[in-house]
């Protein structure tokens, strides 16, 4: 079981919209970055992820599950990039802000902190457990 973090601007695609898609989920399209795409290639159904709101909010607000492995993104004319499908699992009761993550020394080496522009990134087991705890949500 691997863990991930999906970053989105809430004004473009929010966790509330993801929840509204229900158990069928949606495709996570629009990624045009090879590092992010490579992370998605490594995903398998059943993997879990954080849903992070960037820009105006800057917080982990929900948990999602990967439901379909990497496949081509039809919105990419170059054919170079793909996407996965995810569905919302549950909201994080106490959203974990970027400020809180930066204030926690054990999270200092997260990709979220080190590579602010990366939109899809891996999360290791201990980081996953700690952020779940900070957010007041059970890890699964």
Partner DNA sequence: GCCAACGTTGGC
Q: How far is the CB of 32 from DNA (least distance, A)?
A: 6
Q: How far is the CB of 87 from DNA (least distance, A)?
A: 21
64 contacts 6 by C-beta, under 8 angstroms: yes
User: Which residues contact DNA (rule: CB under 7 A)?
Assistant: 7, 9, 32-35, 54-55, 58, 98-99, 102, 112, 115-119
Nearer to DNA, 24 or 117 (CB): 117
The 10 Å Cβ neighbour count of residue 72 is 11
The 10 Å Cβ neighbour count of residue 44 is 12
Cα–Cα distance between 126 and 27 in angstroms, integer?
27
Structure tokens at 80: 């170079």
Euclidean distance between the first and the last CA atom of the chain, given in angstroms as a whole number: 11
Q: How far is the CB of 8 from DNA (least distance, A)?
A: 8
Nearer to DNA, 2 or 118 (CB): 118
Nearer to DNA, 17 or 116 (CB): 116
Q: Which residue has the tokens 């399209």?
A: 29
Q: How far is the CB of 132 from DNA (least distance, A)?
A: 19
Nearer to DNA, 65 or 76 (CB): 76
Cα–Cα distance between 19 and 9 in angstroms, integer?
15
């Amino acid at each position: 079981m691997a863990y991930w973090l999906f970053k989105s601007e809430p004004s473009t695609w929010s966790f509330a919209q993801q929840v509204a898609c229900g158990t069928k989920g949606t495709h996570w399209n629009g990624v045009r970055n090879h590092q992010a795409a490579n992370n998605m290639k490594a995903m398998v159904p059943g993997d879990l992820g954080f849903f992070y709101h960037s820009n105006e909010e800057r917080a982990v607000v929900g948990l999602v599950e990967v439901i379909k492995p990497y496949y081509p993104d039809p919105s990419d004319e170059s054919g170079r990039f793909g996407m996965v499908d995810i569905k919302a699992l549950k909201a994080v009761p106490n959203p974990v802000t970027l400020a809180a993550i930066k204030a926690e020394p054990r999270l200092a080496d997260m990709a979220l902190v080190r590579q602010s522009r990366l939109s899809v990134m891996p999360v290791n087991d201990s980081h996953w457990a700690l952020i779940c705890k900070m957010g007041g949500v059970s890890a699964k």
